[in-house]
Amino acid sequence: MHINVHELRADLHERLGLGQHLILYGPRGSGKSRLVEQLQARFVRARIPCAISPSTACLEDVTRALHAAYPEVKTEAVNKRTARYRLWTAADRRRGVLLLDHFTEVGSAMISFFRRLRGGVAGVLFVVDVDVERERMRIRQRGRSLALSVRMPLASRGQLRRLLYARCAEHGFSVEPDAEHQLLNTAHGRPGWIVLCTRLMEEGRYWHEGHLYPTLLCTDTEITLRQGDLKLLAPENWTPESGRAWKSPLTDYDEEGFCKNTRPSPPRKPY
C-alpha cells in the first residue's frame, strides 16, 4: 500500500525498469494519466525506450505504442504479426517500457503477446479506470493473468483545497464556503476532478449574479470526466429561472403525443 503519489511513482519507476508488469487502477480524475506522463519523462531522461498509449482497447493500440518506443524498427511493408515479432526482438535486445493508459479490453491475443514480453523483455503498466466496486472486482479477476494490481492513492482534502485555491486564483474566481465544501466533497480525493471543474468554471452557464451554482457544475464535471461528451452538459444559456438544466426523457414526446421512452408496444398477434 503506497501512502502518497511520490512513493508510488518511485516504486513504479523501479519495477517497470526491471521489466515487471503492473496494473495501476483508480477512479477517473485521480491523477493516473498525469503519473503516466511523469514516468515517461523519467524513462526518456534515462534513455530507456518508453511510449504511452493514450487509449488501449485492442492489440493494435499496444503495437502502435511499442513502435513509438522503438521507431527505428521497420514495420511498414510487413504484416501485423511480423511487425510485432520485429518489435518484440527489438525489446528483447534493449529493454523498454510500455505505459498503456485507459486500458479497457483483455483479449486472448493480448494476453498471449504480453506473456511474451515478460521475463524482463519490457516493463508494462496497465492503467485502468475503476469507479465502482464491481469494476474493481472485474479487474482483479481478469488481471490475475496479467500482473500485480496497485491502487492509485487519493489526494487528501487539504491537497484538494490548495489545488482549488490555486486554480481559482489563477482564473480570478471567488468561491463561497458552501460551494467550496460541496466541490471538495464531490471530488472524493481526485485532483484531476478539481482541474476539470475549474476549467468548466470559466463558462458563464455556472454563474448567476456573481454566485456559483455548484450542483450544476459538479454534475457537468462528472459527466465530462466519465463520458467526454459536451452535448450532455447543461445549455449555455441556462439560468435558474429556465427550470430543468438537462432534458428529461419524460418530456420527450413524438408526433402522436407519446413519450419516446414510454411508448406502448403494439398488441401481440393471436396464435
pLDDT by residue (tens digit) across 174-219?
899 999 999 999 999 999 999 999 999 998 889 888 889 999 999 9
Co-location of 108 and 214 in the same domain: no
Co-location of 64 and 172 in the same domain: no
Co-location of 139 and 29 in the same domain: yes
Is residue 182 packed enough to be buried (19+ CB in 10 Å), middle (13-18) or exposed (0-12)?
Answer: middle
Cα distances (angstroms) measured from residue 4 to each of 48, 58, 59, 156, 175 = 25, 31, 32, 10, 28
Co-location of 86 and 209 in the same domain: no
Residue count of the chain, please give it. Answer: 271
Q: Which residues contact 21 (CB under 8 A, 6 or more apart)?
A: 114, 117, 118, 123, 124, 125, 126, 146, 147, 148
Residue 265 lies in a domain: no
Co-location of 122 and 200 in the same domain: no
Question: What CA–CA distance (Å, rounded) separates 210 from 206?
Answer: 10
Co-location of 144 and 162 in the same domain: no
Residue 89 lies in a domain: yes
Co-location of 12 and 121 in the same domain: yes
pLDDT by residue (tens digit) across 214-256?
999 999 999 888 876 544 455 555 454 554 444 444 344 444 4
Co-location of 122 and 224 in the same domain: no
Identify whether the C-beta of residue 101 lies closer than 8 Å to the C-beta of residue 109: no
CATH code for position 46: 3.40.50.300
Domain boundary among 93, 121, 151: 151
pLDDT at 27: 92
The one-letter amino acid code at 212 reads: L
Is residue 259 packed enough to be buried (19+ CB in 10 Å), middle (13-18) or exposed (0-12)?
Answer: middle
pLDDT by residue (tens digit) across 161-177?
999 999 999 988 889 99
Q: Please give the residue range of the domain that contains residue 223.
A: 157-234
Q: How many domains does the chain have?
A: 2
Helices (H), 2-132: 5-17, 32-45, 59-69, 80-93, 108-116
